């Protein structure tokens, strides 16, 4: 097992990894930018190293500085969390070359599956259903030609990254050139890679993803599904497990499809295979995320499996001790992402937190890195906390979440807490009668 792990990330996911390591008796190293010195992950790690100024490209994306920090502190492994360098195959390869274990898939697995255009081709080759689409697009002219062949509306997507960035829907040829340039620019700024591809846009889908866990000994597991349909501008806001529309037959078929994809590339570590599910419960492959997900806690709550610790064990070469038949789903879990923003204008709200009171109680989990007198920074993602509620039924989980959100106090900045509570209590959410357009319709009517 590893003796010391450097966490190449910040915020709540850095804290999550630090806590998992402490339970396993593994020392931790936090990295931070100059403006992040007062962040909680810096305070809780055994050691910490400043890797640069505020801009992410000069700190949390600064491979040379991160590798220097790892060597300086004697870390024998690096956990990338999600975002930043988590799906960067070049970074994983540098770790390998420096004899430092990257806690995630192998570089070639990330290159194949983390690149969404390549992943589509592999999924097609193994027979997974998918919407019509393209490979890597070289320019706007090719994009226009392919869009005519596929038929509008189409979705233009960056091959790297996530978090709703680098995704645009195109309804008319007149939108294509400017949209193509915008997606490439946004993707290059966010992920360092501006490549993109296109697929047919599904008008009224649900977004359902399968969690996979694979080791290097030929064991492949799927840990059920998460429903991530509640989104705003392709950014997930609320996630739950199990999905209220997925039955046992569909779960098994989606799980089998996810495992066939993993086997095609000898995948190891955790990953998420994302699907669109239409009104007729037909599913279509969308992409694979070769990292831990923001929404991983809902899977942990219903399965009782610590995904971060499993990541670490698999990366250390250990064989999984659980089998597919051991995975049992207990109850229902819902996660709400708490963001420092004005939800009406979708505008970030950095600033000083003057009062802070998180909710608690049986089945309530808060993953956060903020505290009273913490200054929320304008340089990074606006998510500052996740509220996860687990109960015996979906109805009880909704009631518990509504109660928890009403108790959550974060003063001094704007947050989307009350906005999330309105969604949770909406009749259509309660009855699970919605698709990915729900929030657009909700905002229009309110």
Give the single-character DSSP code of 4. Answer: E
- pLDDT over 70 (residue 162): no
- pLDDT over 70 (residue 14): yes
Q: What is the pLDDT of residue 114?
A: 80
- φ/ψ (deg, to 5) at 355: -150, 145
Q: What is the mean pLDDT of the chain?
A: 95
pLDDT tens digits for 228-273?
999 988 889 999 999 999 999 999 999 999 999 999 999 999 999 9
- pLDDT over 80 (residue 434): yes
pLDDT tens digits for 299-328?
999 999 999 999 999 999 999 999 999 999
Q: Is the dihedral of CA 107, 110, 113, 115 positive or negative?
A: negative
Return the closest-CA partner of residue 71 out of 95, 92, 42, 45.
Answer: 95
| Cα-based angle 24, 26, 30 (whole degrees, multiple of 5) | 125
Q: What percent of the chain has pLDDT above 90?
A: 85
**How deeply is 138 buried, as exposed, middle or buried, from its count of CB atoms within 10 A (0-12, 13-18, 19+)?**
exposed
Q: Band of the pLDDT at 163, cuts 50, 70, 90?
A: low
Return the closest-CA partner of residue 51 out of 35, 62, 37, 36.
Answer: 62
- In whole angstroms, give the CA distance from residue 235 to residue 436: 10
pTM, two decimals, is: 0.90
Please list the alpha-helical segments (H only) found in 215-306. Answer: 248-264, 296-303
- pLDDT over 80 (residue 32): yes
H or E element at residue 187: helix 176-191
- In whole angstroms, give the CA distance from residue 70 to residue 446: 50
- In whole angstroms, give the CA distance from residue 264 to residue 301: 29
pLDDT tens digits for 398-424?
999 999 999 999 999 999 999 999 999
pLDDT tens digits for 130-161?
998 888 899 999 999 999 999 999 999 888 76
Residues marked as catalytic: 291
Contact 198/155 with Cβ under 8 angstroms? Answer: yes
Asked if omega into 153 is within 30° of 0 (cis), the reply is yes
H or E element at residue 149: helix 140-150
Domains of the chain in sequence order: 4-103 (3.40.50.20), 132-200 (3.30.1490.20), 206-445 (3.30.470.20)
| Token pair belonging to 233 | 């501008």
């Amino acid at each position: 097992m590893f003796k010391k792990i450097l966490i190449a990330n910040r915020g709540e996911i850095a804290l999550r990894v630090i806590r998992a390591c402490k339970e396993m008796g593994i020392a931790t190293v936090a990295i931070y930018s100059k403006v992040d010195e007062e962040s909680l992950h810096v305070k809780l790690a055994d050691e910490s190293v400043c890797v640069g100024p505020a801009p992410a490209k000069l700190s949390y994306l600064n491979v040379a500085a991160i590798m220097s920090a790892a060597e300086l502190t004697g870390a024998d492994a690096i956990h990338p969390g999600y975002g930043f360098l988590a799906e960067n195959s070049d970074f994983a390869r540098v770790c390998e070359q420096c004899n430092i274990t990257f806690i995630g898939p192998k570089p070639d697995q990330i290159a194949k599956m983390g690149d969404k255009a390549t992943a589509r081709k592999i999924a097609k080759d193994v027979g997974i259903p998918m919407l019509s689409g393209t490979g890597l697009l070289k320019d706007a002219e090719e994009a226009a030609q392919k869009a005519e062949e596929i038929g509008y509306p189409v979705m233009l997507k960056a091959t790297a990254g996530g978090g709703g960035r680098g995704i645009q829907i195109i309804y008319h040829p007149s939108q294509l050139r400017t949209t193509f340039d915008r997606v490439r620019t946004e993707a290059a700024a966010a992920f360092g890679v501006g490549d993109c591809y296109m697929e047919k846009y599904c008008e009224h889908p649900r977004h359902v993803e399968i969690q996979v866990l694979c080791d290097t000994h030929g064991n492949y597991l799927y840990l059920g599904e998460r429903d991530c349909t509640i989104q705003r501008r392709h950014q997930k806001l609320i996630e739950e497990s199990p999905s209220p529309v997925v039955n046992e037959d569909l779960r098994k078929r989606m799980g089998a499809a996810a495992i066939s994809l993993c086997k095609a590339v000898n995948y190891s570590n955790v990953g998420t295979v994302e699907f669109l599910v239409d009104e007729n419960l037909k599913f279509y492959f969308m992409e694979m995320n070769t990292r831990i997900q923001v929404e991983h806690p809902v899977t942990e709550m219903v399965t009782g499996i610590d995904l971060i610790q499993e990541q670490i064990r698999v990366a250390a070469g250990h064989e999984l001790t659980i089998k597919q038949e051991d995975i049992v789903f207990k109850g229902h879990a819902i996660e709400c992402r708490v963001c420092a923003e004005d939800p009406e204008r979708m505008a970030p709200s950095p600033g000083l937190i003057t009062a802070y009171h998180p909710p608690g109680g049986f089945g309530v989990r808060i993953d956060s890195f903020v505290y009273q007198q913490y200054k929320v920074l304008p340089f990074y993602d606006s998510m500052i906390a996740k509220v996860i509620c687990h109960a015996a039924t979906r109805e009880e989980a909704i009631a518990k979440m509504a109660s928890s959100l009403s108790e959550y106090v974060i003063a001094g900045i704007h947050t989307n807490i009350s906005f999330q509570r309105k969604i949770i209590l909406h009749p259509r959410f309660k009855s699970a009668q919605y698709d990915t357009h729900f929030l657009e319709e909700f905002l229009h009517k309110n």
